[in-house]
Structure 1
Amino acid sequence: MATQYGTQFGQGEGHGPGSGYEPFGGPGLHGRGDDRGDHRGDDRRRHLLPAGLRAPVEARSWRELGYVLLSLPIGIMLFTYAVTMVSLGAGLLVTFLGIPVLAAALAGCRLFGSLERARARALLGLDVREPEPLRTTGGGVLAWTGSVLRSGASWRAVLYALVQFPWAVFSFVVAVVFWTVGWSFLTYPLWFWVFPTWAGRGGIQLYGDAHHSVYLDNPFEITMTALVGLLLTLATPWIVRALTTVDRVLVYGLLGPSRLSARVVELESDRGVVVDTAAADLRRIERDLHDGAQARLVALAMDLGLAKEKLAEDPRAAARMVDEAHGEVKTALQELRDLARGIHPAVLTDRGLDAALSAVASRCTVPVRVEVDLAQRPAPAIEGIAYFTVSELLQNISKHSGARSATVDVWRSEDRLMLQVADDGIGGADAAAGSGLAGLAERLDAVDGILLVDSPAGGPTRVTAELPWRR
């Protein structure tokens, strides 16, 4: 390290201008999660370098660099617009003009929010749904103004404008400083010659006063500077990734749909599933009655009519026909019992899940061990869904699994009812393949339940269902 003495020395450090780095984005909070097509393709290929070494030069990193660089000018415009318009509208509230001005301010912030969601989608891979639309109670400007002022999404967009600006300043400064310093130090051996040639100095100045100065100018110091730059360059993507996590939270939390509106949409969807399921069940019951018991009873009535006509002239034939009709009555009664059991079995109402599931297991073509560990019974609706879930899963085992044995376990975990049906069959069950498991998953989802299928090829298969207790 060279030390030069003198009376006057320049104070510049020789840092060349550099461009800032943008966050190395992680998984999206509510969407695609990773980096678009090229990065997903990278994940499928075997890399020669680990992720930590290739991160600074990946396209993903440069897209996120663009996000941070754009955040500052966009934040300035958005903050200025929001503060100016909202302040103007609030100041004019003493007159009639304040209300439409304030509504225009909120509408403008909603428009900026749409642009921000598009920017986050393009550069961060964060897919955020549109917030709840404006609900107008009538036509005209007054109705629109009232709906804008009542919309929670409008006020969340204003809050985003106020919060995003200071965060954009902070993240911009941190990203640019780390990225610039890291790459400047890393490439220092390449541009070190600039200082002695054009600036009349030994190199980067670490210290200087009226009596002496310290420069990085010998080969060892230049090498160490490059190594420090390498460490900073490798660490910068992960530092900026943490910064962009905050951006993701802001966009997702303030510019997307609120939890309440998302829950309303979910409940509306679940209600549609429940209505469709109920309609399908009614159609199944009508079809079973029409093709089963009803057809048998019609044939029975015809047979009894013929037997009545033959009673006088051929008693033996009439007796034979009555005997056949008696058999038909037994078959029809059994079909009606099966149909009633399919609607809601009496044993479930009278004795609970343990006895009802044991009865279902006894009809399975595969030996089934049933264990029910419940100190008390759940809500009747949840109990019925649990029964039909296990019943359908056991039917699948009988028809498709090729298993030699199966187990059914039922227990309670805090405020959740847990079901697990396992078999030692051939496996390969997939709820995403549009099979009966997909419909079963939709039915469970309609009551905030979850269906998990673990069925590798070759088996074994384990299906776990989780239902709310709701007692």
Structure 2
Amino acid sequence: MATEYGQGYAQMDRPDFRATGVGERRHRLPAGLRAPIEARTWKELGYTLLSLPIGIASFVFAVTMLSLGAGLLVTFIGVPVLAGALAGCRGIGALERTRARGLLGLEVAPPEPLRPKGGGAMALVGAVLKSGASWRHLLYSVLLMPWAIFSFVVAVVFWSYGWLMLTYPLWFWLFPMYGGQDGIQLYGGDGHHIYLDNPFEIGATAATGLLITLATPWIVRALTTVDRLMVHGLLGPSRLATRVVELESDRGVVVDTAAADLRRIERDLHDGAQARLVALAMDLGLAKEKLAEDPEAAARMVDEAHGEVKVALQELRDLARGIHPAVLTDRGLNAALSALAARCTVPVRVEVDLASRPAAAIEGIAYFTVSELLQNISKHSGASQASVDVWRSENRLMLQVTDNGAGGADVTAGSGLAGLAERLDAVDGILVVDSPQGGPTTVTAELPWRQA
């Protein structure tokens, strides 16, 4: 998904575009000191240690089955054996995605499912062999073992040496009592030996162990970063498949949004202008009947009908403006947003810095985004002032609406902001909401720039 909620949005190239994270958990110890005892560190260490036996097993399975299948390709048996090897590697991939989710917190979607053409075992064998995901799983099964050996050795050496040196003052007494020497031997030669046995050397050893212990979690984290890349790149869906899924989802959002807009227009016509015009027709019919008997009453009814006509016309204008305002087509975003601001119940400053106009579709989405945000400000914020800024940043159209209201806007509570985010996501846009309790509220929308 392209939609992003919450805080911490990166600063853009505009000085007034900033978002401050709130609600972050505060720790008494800095990250560098608490890392060795954090649950995340132990999970990552467990992942690294488990990778070795799993890597060996997957390597043996993949290489054995691949060699067997390749050797038997001269016969018919080699094809199903090779397909079985790939299917087994897909099973290993499912296990690895589960392990990465549990120990690394990495969510990786499964690859695209097999789509055999036709029924029967041979169709399934052909689908396995033709699937690019199957061969990526095989590659992962082969690469895991050498990387697991390297990461296992590095993690165990740093972890064990760090803790052993850090705790050296606690078990130093073992050497003279049971080892027959004064301490850890750094050097031994003919008639000359160096032991870590005096208080200074013991303290220096512990200090060095502390440094290694503090550095080890970050070394393990760097090692698991490579694991994350391997799992994400080789065991997840391809970029093309992911993009297809996103486009299918966006298409559904567009269809649902269009249907909702049509229902809204139908409801507004039925409950508003249409009902008013029906009543107007009835009033004019009554006035026609009274025209001969009571001209004054008929004149009053015609006068009332004239007022109803004006109201109906205004409702139709508002409805047309809600579909697509003429000022946006004729004069662009600057004039259209200024007209929106003039109708808002809160004083709004509008600044549009665009050298050219984007495509009509993007312009329309930008207009209705600002329109809905200003409506939210009028109805819910309790603000006394607001501002709208529009500018272009490379190939993106940026919108930022700010108010000094009570804050607390929540896109996850089924509000209009969630629907607005879905509309922006349908065109690869992003919605960012920064609304701490007590305000101010800053909503930033980002749309792709498409030239008109």
Name the TM-score class by shorter chain: 0.7 to 0.9
TM-score normalised by the chain length of structure 2? 0.88
Q: Which residue of 1 aligns with 2:270?
A: 290
1:69 aligns to 2:49 (yes or no): yes
Deviation digits for residues 290-325 of structure 1 (CA, Å, limit 9, x no counterpart): 111111221222222223333333333333333332
Of residues 309, 317, 320 in structure 1, which corresponds to 2:297?
317
TM-superposed deviation, 1:413: 1.0
CA distance in 2, matches of 1:61, 1:349: 57
CA distance in 2, matches of 1:49, 1:374: 47
User: Which has the higher mean CA deviation after the structures are superposed, 390-399 or 455-464?
Assistant: 455-464
CA distance in 2, matches of 1:215, 1:95: 67
Q: Which residue of 2 aligns with 1:84?
A: 64
Q: Which residue of 2 aligns with 1:113?
A: 93
Of residues 390, 403, 409 in structure 1, which corresponds to 2:389?
409
Secondary structure of the residue that 2:292 maps to in structure 1?
coil
**Aligned positions of 1:25-64 closer than 5 A:** 49-64=29-44
Secondary structure of the residue that 2:73 maps to in structure 1?
helix
CA distance in 1, matches of 2:145, 2:59: 6
Q: Which residue of 2 aligns with 1:152?
A: 132
Deviation digits for residues 350-370 of structure 1 (CA, Å, limit 9, x no counterpart): 221112112222211222222
1:343 aligns to 2:323 (yes or no): yes
Q: Which residue of 2 aligns with 1:188?
A: 168
1:242 aligns to 2:231 (yes or no): no
Q: Provide closer, same or farther for how the CA distance between residues 333 and 262 of structure 1 changes in structure 2, counting only shifts above 3 A.
A: same
Secondary structure of the residue that 1:448 maps to in structure 2?
coil
Q: Which residue of 1 aligns with 2:282?
A: 302
Q: Which residue of 2 aligns with 1:426?
A: 406
1:102 aligns to 2:82 (yes or no): yes
User: Which has the higher mean CA deviation after the structures are superposed, 452-461 or 238-247?
Assistant: 452-461
Structure 1 unaligned spans of 5+: 1-42
Of residues 243, 254, 260 in structure 2, which corresponds to 1:280?
260
Q: Which residue of 1 aligns with 2:415?
A: 435
Give structure 1 regions of 4+ aligned residues with deviation exceeding 6 angstroms: 43-46
Q: Which residue of 2 aligns with 1:468?
A: 448
CA distance in 1, matches of 2:450, 2:76: 51
TM-superposed deviation, 1:210: 5.5
Secondary structure of the residue that 1:458 maps to in structure 2?
coil
Q: Which residue of 1 aligns with 2:143?
A: 163
Of residues 169, 176, 196 in structure 1, which corresponds to 2:156?
176
Percentage of pairs with the same residue: 80
Deviation digits for residues 161-218 of structure 1 (CA, Å, limit 9, x no counterpart): 1222111111111111112222222333444444445444443332334665443344
CA distance in 1, matches of 2:196, 2:300: 115
Q: Provide closer, same or farther for how the CA distance between residues 373 and 159 of structure 1 changes in structure 2, counting only shifts above 3 A.
A: same
Of residues 117, 123, 127 in structure 1, which corresponds to 2:107?
127
1:261 aligns to 2:241 (yes or no): yes
Q: Provide closer, same or farther for how the CA distance between residues 315 and 49 of structure 1 changes in structure 2, counting only shifts above 3 A.
A: closer
CA distance in 1, matches of 2:449, 2:356: 11
User: Which has the higher mean CA deviation after the structures are superposed, 435-444 or 85-94?
Assistant: 85-94
Give the residue type in structure 2 aligned to 1:159. L
User: Which has the higher mean CA deviation after the structures are superposed, 310-319 or 109-118?
Assistant: 310-319
Of residues 427, 431, 443 in structure 2, which corresponds to 1:447?
427
Q: Provide closer, same or farther for how the CA distance between residues 244 and 406 of structure 1 changes in structure 2, counting only shifts above 3 A.
A: same
CA distance in 2, matches of 1:360, 1:234: 57
Structure 2 unaligned spans of 5+: 1-22
User: Which has the higher mean CA deviation after the structures are superposed, 265-274 or 49-58?
Assistant: 49-58
CA distance in 1, matches of 2:180, 2:404: 81
User: Which has the higher mean CA deviation after the structures are superposed, 177-186 or 438-447?
Assistant: 177-186
Cα RMSD over matched residues? 2.3
Secondary structure of the residue that 2:399 maps to in structure 1?
strand
1:380 aligns to 2:360 (yes or no): yes
TM-superposed deviation, 1:226: 2.8
Q: Which residue of 1 aligns with 2:339?
A: 359
Q: Which residue of 1 aligns with 2:123?
A: 143
Of residues 206, 212, 221 in structure 1, which corresponds to 2:201?
221
Secondary structure of the residue that 1:114 maps to in structure 2?
helix
TM-superposed deviation, 1:92: 2.8
**Would you say how many aligned residue pairs link Structure 1 and Structure 2?**
429
Secondary structure of the residue that 1:94 maps to in structure 2?
coil
